[in-house]
Chains A and B, each alone.
Chain A
Amino acid sequence: MSKAYDHIIIGGGHNGLVCATYLARAGRKVLVLEAAAAVGGAASTREFAPGFRVSAGAHLLNGLPADVLRELGLEAHGLRFSARQITTIALNPAGAPVTIAGNTVTGVEPRDAQAFARFARSMDAFSGVIGQLQGMRPFRITLPSWSERIAALKVGLRIRLLGKRSMRELLRIAGMNAYDLLTDNFESPLLKGALALDATLGAEFAARSPGTVLTFLLRWAGRVHAGALGIAQPAGGMGAVTQAMASAARAAGVEIRTGARVKRITVADDRASGVVLDSGETIAAASVISNADPRATFLKLLGAEYLDTDFVRRIDHFRAKGLVAKLHLALDGLPEFRGVDAAALGGRLLVCPNLDYLELAFNPSKYREVPSAPALEITVPTVRDPDLAPTGKHVLSINVMFVPYDMGDDPAGARKALLASILATLEQYAPGLGARITASELLTPSDLEREFGMAGGHWHHGALTFEQFFFTRPVPGAAQYATPLPGLYLCGAGSHPGGGVMGLAGRNAARTVLEGVN
């Protein structure tokens, strides 16, 4: 039977585009189907008020791997960066902030500065191991093949090569919480608060929860992948990244169709045989690769009747409830933050003055409530990229922690209260900011779910925690990108290594498909 396409990829987000490009370059005929009018998914740029544009989801590249950038030739396809090696600034409500630039911290006592340099060196070393894990297809621990045994040995060897002391330290801290680790190392509340925010941004918990050292390392490992790029801001917003990816994909021969929402995956002879679109159109392919989240892929697009109860139970238990909201503000002028000069305004500005602040910002979310003093990651993208707003005007793009997916019995009231508490918090750090706001847009996790189809509005399509990491991501039986149904693969953030605009899930999935793993 001849099929029009070798592979159909459901979802034109960054992982779908990356996967498509690698497959097309290997000679496969690939069709990408995107439900929205444009590719990009959550990695897109949107106009939230007339003339004001902003990255819809992630607003900074925190670990776009240098290999992916090079292999896909994204710069040749038009990707530019308005800023590289962006510094992190822990805002101080009372005075001078703490600034983290690479492995150097300023604004703290010498003792903390030295401790941070030492700490950063270990984290760099550990991130080598994490980075290796992120770049590979997870090996299975039950009935592994020989190549998987070798892969596992290589990881073991890498850990051993850290040296005895570092290996011991990695194994000691890997399961710990960030609160204890940071308290062991530092004095400065601002520094600890900033690092704790990094450990929990996009996660489902605050810094006292176990597993937050792992999430911290996952974020830190982005630096290893990104190399010289560091934390970067793409010119034109995140949509420029996926536009460049789409351009690379088309150049490789990938066909991309937008406005084509997949209704379900078709099955013939116990094998994925193609898709049916909302329009009723049927498209056949030798295999189907889903960039949708695992729950949507298996329970909505495929259906439980093609899967075993045990597997469906695991998918049903895959935890995916986002806790980060996104706030976009249009300003009629440049905002002023206490203690931050105009040059530094292009950095990441963090509102998390100490560890307890983060913990208290988290607590209400456990009870379906919004925080009265949220932790914030703020960027002013227009400082580096003035084209995003009319001349002289600015955009504030803010990640707000912790906003529950389920905002209680009065979501409209909770929304109002949340916006008020964010603005009140901002006012403490940037007096007079409120008066400059001309338009705003708040996207809570449930908005993000509706807007981009991500289950629970979760950045990573599912919590990145120990029990949902590596060979258990999303669940055993689908952790190697292949799924129980022959001919159906996963390539999205719900698979290893998770979300963030990295494209590694897409690349790992493409390798799996090319190796013919069923």
Chain B
Amino acid sequence: MLANSNLRPHYRRPLITTPFFERSQYFVETDTYVDWSGYSTPDVFSSVEQEYFAIRNSVAVFDLTPMVKYRITGADAERYLNRLITRDVSKLRVNRVAYTVWCNEAGHVIDDGTVFRFGPNEFHVCTAERQLDWFLDSALGFEVQIQEVTEDIAALAVQGPTSCATLKNMGLVGVENLKMFEMGQFQLGGHPLMVSRTGFTGDLGYELWIPADGALALWDQLMEAGRLLGIRPMGYQALDMARIEAGFILPNADFISASHTVRLGRETTPFELGLEWLVALDKGHFNGRRAIVEEKARGSKRRLLAIEIAGRKAAHGSLIYDDETSWRQVGEIKSALWSPTCKRNIALAMIDAPHFHALKEFWVDIYLHRELMWERRMERAWPVERPFFAPERRKLTPPMDR
């Protein structure tokens, strides 16, 4: 039944499945699917712990086909992107990838994503949310073509210490020479396969991009190649744990797109998110630049900090106070996790000015629901370095095989 879900009228099943579904459905033991950008995707395949530890100890595979993908070409493609995003695209070399954000005229973040440079005038942009109207409106005055290619390209993230070994087993000769944020072209059973050394886990890892009709061949060969290297598919939950340890922000968790906010002041800026390193103020004009320059001069209203919290209970959605007994709220937790690898209680927290630089210590109230009873705990918290977890292996080229 499920396998034929794409044949049903769309109004009977508004969520579609990815080209990998034909295979991946047999790995799903929990039947916990979630809606990701209109795709039905597994939240957990078997158990979140097993999947998480595959990322950190062997290799895990994540279907990221629902990532929205745009192909941007034309004589003005570089100029266009330089006006659109905050980073300097002229410094992005061919076959390189860059993480970036883009803003509206108020300097508020609309979305984050990655830019892939295929040639002087050819790019792909991967985004969390649909951006077509914004990208098209931004094209006014530029000679550029924008095409949505989300459904045309199937993609898998292959992440973990044995990920490179798996890809080598698959016959991708030279894949070990890819540096971080570099991409390479390969062939797989007659299909062009692009591999980029990118990921959302903070670990050694790659992302594999193939035309949709090559998806099943890719899945089969990958699973076979990784059989003795501990490969297993992972769902959304395990990825979320890894990305918090890596200190990566997630739209709709750590910030909300400025195109979705309704209430005044809920938008966020790159500086507030701690992403000033993405903002090339010296490259000429880009969307939001004037507002960002003003914010830089005036100071940000708040800032996303990496914090560590005493105890072992993850502080999901907790409010943050300036003192143990105080009721003066100075911020709140956006993403929280008891980190199994760091053995630390970590979180990304948005702290208001001036406390984010004035305070060396915060207090977090954590509510625990235990056997239908709420318990409240006040725990000490303090700012720490971000990322929380950054193993050497993620950068090493060529990587070790285990």
Contact = CB atoms under 8 A, between A and B. Distances in A.
A310 interface: yes
B105 A309 contact: yes
Contacts of A312: 137-138, 140-141
A201 to B, nearest CB: 32
Interface stretch (A162-170, A299-307, A399-407, A509-517): A299-307
Contacts of B285: 267, 270, 305-307
A308 B79 contact: no
B141 A299 contact: yes
Nearest to B137: A313
Interface string B119-150: 00000000000000010011011100000000
Contacts of B345: none
Interface string A182-222: 00000000000000000000000000000000000000000
A316 B140 contact: yes
B79 A305 contact: yes
Given A270-B285, A270-B289, A309 B141 contact: no
Could you say which of A267, A311, A313, A477 has the most chain B C-beta atoms within 10 Å of its C-beta? A313
A484 interface: yes
Given A270-B285, A270-B289, A309-B137, A304 B104 contact: no
B73 interface: no
A304 B140 contact: yes
Interface string B42-57: 0000000000000000
Contact of B138 (A306, A309, A484): A309
Given A270-B290, A309-B134, A304 B141 contact: yes
Interface in B19-60: none
A355 to B, nearest CB: 40
Given A270-B290, A313-B137, A484-B290, A305 B83 contact: yes
Contacts of A299: 140-141
B163 interface: no
Residue from A305, A311, A477 whose CB has the most chain B CB atoms within 10 Å = A305
Nearest to B293: A270
A267 B284 CA distance: 10
Contact of A310 (B83, B104, B142, B284): B104
B166 interface: no
Interface string B84-104: 100000000000000000001
B136 to A, nearest CB: 10
Given A304-B83, A484-B290, A311 B105 contact: yes
Contacts of B79: 305
A97 B397 CA distance: 93
Contacts of B287: 308-310
A477 B137 CA distance: 17
Contacts of B83: 304-305, 309
Interface in A286-320: 299, 303-313, 316
A270 to B, nearest CB: 6
Contacts of A313: 137, 140
A305 B288 CA distance: 12
A308 B104 contact: yes
A313 B135 CA distance: 12
Interface string A150-171: 0000000000000000000000
A23 B142 CA distance: 36
A484 B140 contact: no
Interface string A138-154: 00000000000000000
Give the residue among B83, B137, B140, B141 with the most A Cβ atoms within 10 A: B141
B132 to A, nearest CB: 13
A304 B142 contact: yes
Contacts of A309: 83-84, 104-105, 134, 137-138, 140, 287
Contacts of B140: 299, 304, 309, 312-313, 316
A340 B290 CA distance: 61
14 contacts: A299-B141, A304-B142, A306-B285, A308-B105, A308-B288, A309-B83, A309-B104, A309-B137, A310-B287, A311-B105, A312-B138, A313-B137, A313-B140, A477-B105
The 10 closest A-B pairs by CB, nearest first: A304-B141, A308-B105, A310-B105, A309-B138, A308-B287, A313-B137, A305-B83, A306-B285, A309-B287, A312-B140
Given A299-B141, A309-B104, A484-B105, 14 more contacts: A267-B285, A270-B284, A270-B285, A270-B289, A304-B141, A308-B104, A308-B287, A308-B288, A309-B137, A309-B140, A309-B287, A310-B104, A312-B138, A312-B140
Interface of B: 79, 83-84, 104-105, 134, 137-138, 140-142, 284-285, 287-290
